[in-house]
Amino acid sequence: MSLSNSTFSPAKINLFLKVRKKRVDGFHNIESRFQLINLFDEINIQKTNNKDISLRSNIKDKSFLNKNIILDACFKLQEAVGKDLGCEITVMKNIPMGAGLGGGSSNAASTLVCLNNLFKLNLSRIKLSQLGAELGADIPFFINGKNANVSGFGEILSPCDSINTKILLIYPNIHVSTKEMFDELQTQRKLQCDEKTYDEQNDFQDIFNKKFPLISDFFSQSEEDFHLKFAITGTGSSHFCFYKNELEITEFVKKIPNNWRFFNVEPLQYSPINDN
């Protein structure tokens, strides 16, 4: 009998993101296209001989270790199946947090799938997605593990082909609260008295630019100097662009501030979660 299960937990980018009306359940309806990319966290789950569920990580922050959506996913699944799922979970974080890349949701999805396999719970992906949706709107997408057009609050998935281009991803070392960004969008729309659809491909772009003008100026200057068109993913803070010219990108990344992170990534056809 297997005593552990591991998987790589991928990030995603929003190729576009439009926010529609707020629902009675508090979520917003959205329209988006989610693209998986080859930037991964790694999750390993080891069975233990007791009832405890513990979390270890290369991130040593106590708030991360004690209040994490990974643990929420464990307890949600444990409650659903009515049995103890004693285990030790190790997550190696590479995906920046609060970056609009879905790292937390991806971790929760991977945890649900790994636990399902490790403890032989035999729950369907549909059932796991239903449980995941109670924790976060992006989790059903990551459980499904395929690129998709997304609607509803994130639970309606229509599979689509992967894009086929290299991507430069920049994380400007700013943690952005998804809730705060949605609240700000709601406030702006109330002031405008309409459901304005912004010209940008992401409805949060203008809000981000106003909140973080120095970051916005950097990307505007990049477009002017290098003709690279950057867009925000999720509610931020990461931005991405597509590129073909390797030499141009090599020159550009020299301009990125030293305390920012950047990743040269490629699109994934499907998530490693499908191999579990």
The crossing angle, in degrees rounded to 10, of helices 125-133 and 69-81 is 120
In this structure, how many other beta carbons lie within 10 angstroms of the beta carbon of residue 88?
16
d(CA 138, CA 93): 18
Catalytic residue, from 12, 93, 146, 203: name it. 12
**What is the separation of C-alpha 127 from the centre of its chain, rounded to a whole number of angstroms?**
21
Residue 138 appears among annotated catalytic residues: yes
Q: Return the H-helix or E-strand segment holding 31.
A: strand 28-47
Residue 18 appears among annotated catalytic residues: no
Q: Are 70 and 38 in contact (CB under 8 A)?
A: no
| Tokens linked to 45 | 């789950």
In this structure, how many other beta carbons lie within 10 angstroms of the beta carbon of residue 173?
14
Q: Are 162 and 44 in contact (CB under 8 A)?
A: no
Catalytic residue, from 41, 93, 138, 146: name it. 138
Q: In this structure, what is the dihedral angle of CA atoms 189, 192, 197, 203, given to the nearest 10 degrees? A: -40
Amino acid sitting at position 265: V
DSSP state string for 138-179: THHHHHHTB-EEEETTTTEEEE-PPP-SEEEEEE-S----HH
**What is the separation of C-alpha 151 from the centre of its chain, rounded to a whole number of angstroms?**
16
> DSSP secondary-structure letter at 86?
-
Known catalytic residues are 12, 138
